[in-house]
């Protein structure tokens, strides 16, 4: 399904000006959210992040229109009981040739919805450390921009090596993130995630885990990690809006056989499942 100009239509084809800067320069942002039972999980957090990111780029963003798009697509899926991944895309719109943004941008906003596999939630995965560096010196590293070339290439190489996702380090060799999610490492009762300054996106589920940690008997820290530090953790997991919390069972040649069954990870999974269910107004068994 597609939302554009206030209407939901079947399919994903819509007219697009071929001078749109999102297409020609990657000058824009996107957001991915999970919808269950006709409602978007953590809806206001998704809207706020997109609006804040757009403001950082100087792209006008109307939170009301974004909310309309999310709710229209989620509601359409909710009538059929679908579990949806909703992607909202905002570009600066069309403009003249050259890099300089137009003084008065006319942004393009559209959103699409596709089925999201229930089996992906909380499913374990394996990470491949990519030699491609995350550019922590770039403001764009902390925004969900349309420029995903490095992540696309790393995903290709990770799959060729037999892994599910790529793991990125930044220009200083510090652990940053996975190709499509934030990373957490467990050391005893301390839960560590890389800080945003290391080239990390402020993930929606990342924020939820940081808020849930204390209730699960953990002390959460935002702290830089080298790859050897990460490999020495008791458990590692990835978070994003569709996978929710994915235990990492291997990073390269290092296995984490107990990751999925670790008691602290299990407590976080249960707490996050309850939060998603509460946010969407569904039973916990609907989440996963």
pLDDT tens-digit profile of 200-245?
999 999 999 999 999 999 999 999 999 999 999 999 999 999 999 9
pLDDT tens-digit profile of 230-242?
999 999 999 999 9
Q: Grade residue 56 by pLDDT with cuts at 50, 70 and 90.
A: very high
pLDDT tens-digit profile of 123-182?
999 999 999 999 999 999 999 999 999 999 999 999 999 999 999 999 999 999 999 999
Residue 54: C-alpha distances to residues 4, 26, 69, 209, 241 (Å)? 18, 13, 17, 25, 20
pLDDT score at 263: 96
Specify the residue for token string 């200083």: 172
Q: Which fold has domain 125-280?
A: D-amino Acid Aminotransferase; Chain A, domain 2 (3.20.10)
Among 8-17, 45-54, 118-127, 183-192, the range scoring the smallest mean pLDDT is: 8-17
What CATH code would you report for 2-116?
3.30.470.10
Mean pLDDT on 39-50: 98
pLDDT at 31 over 80: yes
User: How does strand 28-36 pair with strand 39-40?
Assistant: antiparallel
Count the Cβ atoms, other than its own, within 10 Å of residue 215.
Answer: 10
DSSP 168-232: EEETTSBEEEETTBEEEEEETTEEEE--GGGT----HHHHHHHHHTGGGT-EEEE---BHHHHHT
Beta-bridged to residue 3, according to DSSP, are: 8, 111
Q: Could you tell me the residue ranges of all domains in the chain?
A: 2-116, 125-280
Q: At what angle do helices 263-280 and 204-212 cross, to 10 degrees?
A: 120
- Percent of the chain scoring above 90 in pLDDT: 94
- Of residues 266, 265, 194, the one with CA closest to residue 234: 265
Q: Grade residue 260 by pLDDT with cuts at 50, 70 and 90.
A: confident
* Cα gap 267→282, rounded to integer Å: 20
Q: How many CA atoms lie within 13 A of 17 on its CB side?
A: 14
- Of residues 70, 63, 65, 58, the one with CA closest to residue 27: 58
């Amino acid at each position: 399904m597609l939302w554009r100009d206030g209407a939901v239509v079947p399919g994903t084809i819509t007219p697009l000006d071929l001078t749109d800067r999102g297409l020609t320069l990657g000058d824009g942002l996107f957001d991915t959210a999970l919808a269950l039972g006709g409602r978007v999980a953590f809806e206001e957090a998704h809207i706020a992040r997109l609006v804040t990111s757009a403001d950082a780029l100087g792209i006008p963003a109307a939170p009301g229109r974004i909310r309309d798009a999310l709710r229209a697509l989620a509601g359409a899926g909710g009538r059929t009981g679908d579990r949806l991944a909703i992607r909202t895309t905002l570009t600066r719109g069309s403009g003249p040739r050259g890099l300089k943004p137009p003084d008065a941008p006319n942004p393009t906003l559209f959103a699409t919805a596709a089925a999201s596999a229930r089996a992906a939630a909380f499913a374990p995965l394996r990470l491949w450390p990519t030699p491609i560096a995350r550019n922590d010196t770039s403001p764009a590293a902390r925004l969900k921009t349309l420029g995903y070339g490095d992540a696309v290439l790393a995903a290709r190489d990770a799959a060729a090596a037999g892994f599910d996702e790529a793991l990125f380090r930044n220009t200083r060799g510090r652990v940053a993130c996975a190709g499509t999610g934030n990373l957490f490492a467990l050391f005893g009762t301390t839960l560590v995630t890389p800080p945003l300054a290391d080239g990390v996106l402020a993930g929606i589920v990342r924020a939820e885990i940081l808020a849930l940690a204390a209730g699960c008997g953990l002390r959460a820290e935002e702290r830089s990690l080298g790859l050897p530090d990460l490999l020495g953790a008791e458990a590692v997991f990835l978070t994003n809006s569709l996978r929710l919390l994915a235990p990492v069972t291997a990073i390269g040649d290092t296995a984490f056989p107990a990751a999925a069954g670790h008691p602290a990870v299990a407590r976080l999974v249960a707490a996050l499942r309850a939060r998603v269910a509460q946010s969407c107004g569904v039973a916990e068994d609907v989440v996963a």
